[in-house]
Amino acid sequence: MIVRPKTGWFRMLFAWENSVQNTILVPLAIIFALSLAALWGYRSSDAFLFSLSPVPFSLIGVALAIFASFRNSACYERYWEGRKQWGTLTSTTRDLARFAVTVPGSGDTRAAANTRADAGGASQDARQVVALLTAFVQVLKHQLRDSDPEQDLRALLGETEVRDIRALAYRPHGVLLLVQQRIVAWHQEGRIGDVLLAWALAHLDTLTQASGACERIRTTPVPYPYEVLLHRTTYFYCVLLPLGLVESVGWATPVIAVFISYAFMALHTIAGELEDPFGQDANDLPLDALAIHIERSLRETLGDTDLRPVPVPDARYRLD
């Protein structure tokens, strides 16, 4: 994700870093060259046969703009849905961490549990649950990015748990199963009642629903024929555009053709980046930063102070 301070309107006109110009620079250069060729042919020959009426381009341009807007809206909806699900993960894991910290430890009296909670301490059981919740977030991040979670898991869990989780096809579900087993064990030991058990299981179900929604976004792309149609239409329109402008605007053809092509190509490129919000493009969601943010908040619940640094954008304003 690009996170940079707001700049003035004039500087924004010439912003280059982290914009899509780098991606579409070559196609725009081709459009510029075609515009010069069309202008040269029109000016050098009275019998230039390749100029077209601008009327069809106006009609097609309006239809193409509406079509591109619909696709951009659909892709941004996927992006925003992914961010909302990670917001749900943040709040729900915090709720479960607070719950784990306040559950009486094995053999604790109520007074002893209250004293330990007031002192900011946390039982070993609570630390295990918080470590599992942190591992769940890390494993989900790697699942969405098709990467290996082993390094992050080894920093949080034991060797047996790491091996068992890595052997699973859907690892986030395996981590939540371990959390649920511990909570059910607390209920069987009489440390929590039926109401708290139902509350905790409902929150685990919320985590399951959120991770499932992220997986749905990840594994269900925008239909391929839909994307191909817009891609072809956009680029064919931009390639033919100089022929429709050369007779009416003359020497301004290269500038106007490139400007209009920039608008359509940029919209097309931005939609392509937003389609998969969990990737590692510049404009995708900063899953690394979100995972660290959740880890920090969970460990603060335990009373820990040796937390990982707050993620900040790099020199190019990029937050991964």
Is pLDDT at 141 greater than 50 in this prediction? Answer: yes
Q: Give residue-wise pLDDT tens across range 209-256.
A: 999 999 999 998 888 888 888 889 999 999 988 888 888 888 888 999
Q: Compute the distance between CA of residue 209 and CA of residue 211 in angstroms, rounded to an integer.
A: 6
Taken in order 194, 195, 200, 206, the sign of the CA dihedral is positive
Q: Quote the tokens at residue 280.
A: 């590692």
| Chain mean position to CA 299 | 24
Percent with pLDDT over 90 in the chain: 46
Q: Compute the distance between CA of residue 10 and CA of residue 198 in angstroms, rounded to an integer.
A: 57
Q: Compute the distance between CA of residue 160 and CA of residue 282 in angstroms, rounded to an integer.
A: 36
Q: Quote the tokens at residue 91.
A: 């709040």
The whole-number pLDDT of residue 38 equals 85
- Across all residues in the chain, what is the average pLDDT? 86
The answer for residues whose C-beta is within 8 angstroms of residue 107's C-beta and 6 or more apart is none
Q: Give residue-wise pLDDT tens across range 145-199.
A: 999 898 999 988 888 898 989 888 899 999 999 999 999 999 999 999 999 999 9
The answer for residues whose C-beta is within 8 angstroms of residue 165's C-beta and 6 or more apart is 135, 139, 149, 153, 157, 171, 174, 175
Query: Confidence class of residue 57 from pLDDT cuts 50, 70 and 90?
Result: confident
The whole-number pLDDT of residue 115 equals 43
What are the C-alpha distances in Å from 124 to residues 165, 174, 302?
A: 21, 21, 10
Is pLDDT at 108 greater than 60 in this prediction? Answer: no
Q: Give residue-wise pLDDT tens across range 263-275.
A: 999 998 888 888 8
Is pLDDT at 120 greater than 60 in this prediction? Answer: no
Q: Give residue-wise pLDDT tens across range 294-314.
A: 999 999 999 888 888 888 877
Percent with pLDDT over 70 in the chain: 90
In terms of pLDDT, which residue wins out, 258 or 310?
Answer: 258
Among candidate residues 66, 47, 37, 69, the one with its CA nearest the CA of residue 241: 37
Is pLDDT at 109 greater than 60 in this prediction? Answer: no
Query: Confidence class of residue 48 from pLDDT cuts 50, 70 and 90?
Result: low
Residue 191 sits at φ, ψ, to 5 deg, of -85, -20
